[in-house]
Amino acid sequence: MEISSPALVEGPQPLPAQPGRPPGTASRDQPYHVLTTGCPPYPGVARHARWGLPVYRGRRLPPALADFAAPRHSWELLVQDILNGVPPASARERKQPELRDYQRPRVEKMRAAFSVGAPGFLLADPTGSGKTPMAITTVSALPVQLVLVVTKLSVVPAWRAAIDYFGTGPQRWVVINPEQMWRLFEHPWHPLASLPVDEAAAIAAQSGRCRVDFGVVITDESHILADPMSIRSRLHARIMDPPEGERPWWLRLSATPFTAPHETQYVADLIAHVTGAEEPGDVDRGAYLDWLRECGFELNTDTGGRWHHDDNAHDVERVKELLYDSAVGASSSPQELGLPDQARELRPVELSADDRRKYAQAWHEFRQTVGLATTDADALHGDGRQAALRRVQRASFLKTAQVAAVVADLVADGYQVCVPTWFLETVRALVEHISWELKSRELPHKVMGITGEDVGLRERKRQNFQLGRSKVVVFNALEGINLHAGERNVDGKGADATSTPRATVVADVLTGGKRTLQAEGRASRDGQHALAVYLYVPGTTEEAWLARMLRSAANTQALARTSADARALTELADQLDAHAGTTPQVPV
């Protein structure tokens, strides 16, 4: 909320490079306490004119404000250190935590890329390989002072804990989620902190200037930058191209970096470095595809203008040659790292004749909305896309009882079950149906529903599932939530997650290869993969839709893993297409 008290002090203080307090910073008796933005009005709290953050000035922070103190490794804590003239830390005198055998060569390769002047690195190892500790260990040995980590809000605490454990260098770290990145910026004419969040973010992306110079930028789940016109991509671009000073070194982490070559635009600097080409700059998709052709891509498309990996073996090899086999990136299959394969099952569910007609009608309305030529919901945009998917959601509601039965079967077989969905209402419906089904079978029937609405309870609910107090969790956050068996120190008090095998039931309609694989990956970590079960109604449009979704996921796997990983998904899609070809659509 906005704090209307008079601002305290003006004055940009640069991050001090040497011990000592620069002129104009706080005295020892009156240090600044920078607070999180949710701080309520309180005597002595004011919004700082320069930094746009609520601050309290005094020797000690009042107990009433303790919950709003700057968290460790946060933007607020960095600003507090700058205002108080706190000098950079010295290297920690402790032994570097042990890494797995396959992780050490990755760290060495990343450090080598930095030392030879590569603009950055793409680490695209699979889910569960430990990209976070590898990144932190790498950066801890680099001669940089300030590190930015951009990650999902729900993973921010995990990154902070990992930095505490694996970070042994003198760096200061700022961990922030993409929606808060605009707070890193200032503007000569617009006081960003006083504007609505969307407007402030748009202005920062268009013409803002980052307040501090980062030496390294780590983007977790870097596939979020696949759209170069998004606010988060443009904010990244401004940080990576400062008007003065050196460009930061950019480390990008993603198990699902691309679904097609046009999505490689956020690693164009790496491709340019390897090929010797000039970077394409801020160009539209058509111009970027022309640039890729100049770099040796063929980009064959089907009659609908879509790129498929099975028709573009040359492009797949070109991605691997430029990004993984060179000095600027790395990716391996689970098999190459000694991790198990992902197991997947297709499970058709049967509806009553009446529900089947309603189900087909909902899909028919969806197809009318998007047009008969449309074959991928990712091609939709804005309100039209949302309205169309709402019609598909109506169809999903009709099979909640069947989904609940499958989930209960898995619980009875000894699994803890994760159910990713798309919409908030679907989460609620599934929690209700699954709870009833489990209770009717006299099985443990406490079901956790995790959504973006319950930020304050989300971690507690996740812990309940991880510690076995609940056998089922239904969630609509397809990234940034860890549900794997055996997670260490789940509650921060030494308790580990259960070793009960996990199963992931994908029952709602998802779109896009990256989103599908991310949903699978929520319960896959530390060398373990959860069984993935895909539910669908045969003989309906959903069956064909699921096949397209799996083919898109195969494209993603082809561009990051191996042909065998892609083939496993393609074979499932072939099974669905073969069955759809022999099963007539239900008339509507």
For the residues 192-203, what does the mean pLDDT come to? 93
Give Cα separations from 426 to 23, 449, 542, 545 (angstroms): 56, 10, 17, 19
CA–CA dist 48, 561 (Å, integer): 48
pLDDT tens sequence across 476-494: 866 667 888 888 778 777 7
CA-only gyration radius of the chain, Å: 25
For the residues 420-449, what does the mean pLDDT come to? 89
pLDDT of amino acid 520: 84
pLDDT of amino acid 392: 56
pLDDT of amino acid 493: 79
Top mean-pLDDT range of 165-179, 339-353, 517-531 = 165-179
Model confidence band, residue 127 (pLDDT cutoffs 50, 70, 90): confident
pLDDT tens sequence across 368-395: 554 433 333 343 444 445 555 555 555 6
Q: Give me the amino acid identity at 192.
A: L
For the residues 515-520, what does the mean pLDDT come to? 84
Q: Which residues pair with 505 in a beta bridge?
A: 533
Model confidence band, residue 343 (pLDDT cutoffs 50, 70, 90): confident
pLDDT tens sequence across 259-304: 999 999 999 999 999 999 999 988 999 999 999 999 999 999 988 8
pLDDT at 340 over 50: yes
CA–CA dist 315, 559 (Å, integer): 9
Q: Which are the contacts of 562, defined by CB distance < 8 A and separation ≥ 6?
A: 333, 335, 336
CA–CA dist 496, 140 (Å, integer): 27
pLDDT tens sequence across 96-125: 788 889 999 999 999 999 999 999 999 999
CA–CA dist 493, 83 (Å, integer): 34
Which helix or strand (DSSP H or E) is residue 475 part of?
Answer: strand 472-475
pLDDT of amino acid 543: 81
- CATH 3.40.50.300 segments of the chain: 344-580
Per the prediction, the chain carries an average pLDDT of 84
Our CA angle for 44, 48, 50, nearest 5°, is 165
CA–CA dist 350, 19 (Å, integer): 70
Architecture of the domain spanning 103-330: 3-Layer(aba) Sandwich (3.40)
pLDDT at 356 over 80: no
Which position has the higher pLDDT, 335 or 348? Answer: 348
Closest CA to 410 of 357, 472, 465, 467: 472
Model confidence band, residue 428 (pLDDT cutoffs 50, 70, 90): confident
pLDDT tens sequence across 202-225: 999 999 999 999 999 999 999 999
Percent of the chain surpassing pLDDT 90? 52
pLDDT tens sequence across 24-76: 455 566 899 999 988 888 999 999 989 999 999 999 999 999 999 999 999 99
Model confidence band, residue 584 (pLDDT cutoffs 50, 70, 90): very low
Model confidence band, residue 510 (pLDDT cutoffs 50, 70, 90): low
Model confidence band, residue 12 (pLDDT cutoffs 50, 70, 90): very low
- Is the pTM of the predicted complex or chain greater than 0.85? no
Cβ count near 571 (within 10 Å): 12
CA–CA dist 266, 253 (Å, integer): 12
Q: Which are the contacts of 164, defined by CB distance < 8 A and separation ≥ 6?
A: 72
Q: Which range, of 154-158, 172-176, 468-472, averages the lowest pLDDT?
A: 154-158
pLDDT of amino acid 514: 83
**What per-residue string of b and e applies to 90-123 under the rule 16 or more CB within 10 Å gives b?**
eeeeeeeeebeebbeebbebbbebbeeebbbbbb
pLDDT of amino acid 359: 65
Model confidence band, residue 92 (pLDDT cutoffs 50, 70, 90): low
| Beta-sheet pairing, 32-34 with 54-57 | antiparallel
pLDDT of amino acid 421: 85
pLDDT of amino acid 157: 83
pLDDT of amino acid 207: 94
Architecture of the domain spanning 344-580: 3-Layer(aba) Sandwich (3.40)
pLDDT at 21 over 80: no
pLDDT of amino acid 383: 44
Model confidence band, residue 8 (pLDDT cutoffs 50, 70, 90): very low
Which position has the higher pLDDT, 154 or 80? Answer: 80
Collapsing DSSP to helix, strand or coil, 119 comes out as coil
Give Cα separations from 363 to 205, 399, 539, 550, 587 (angstroms): 38, 13, 12, 19, 11
- CATH 3.40.50.10810 segments of the chain: 103-330
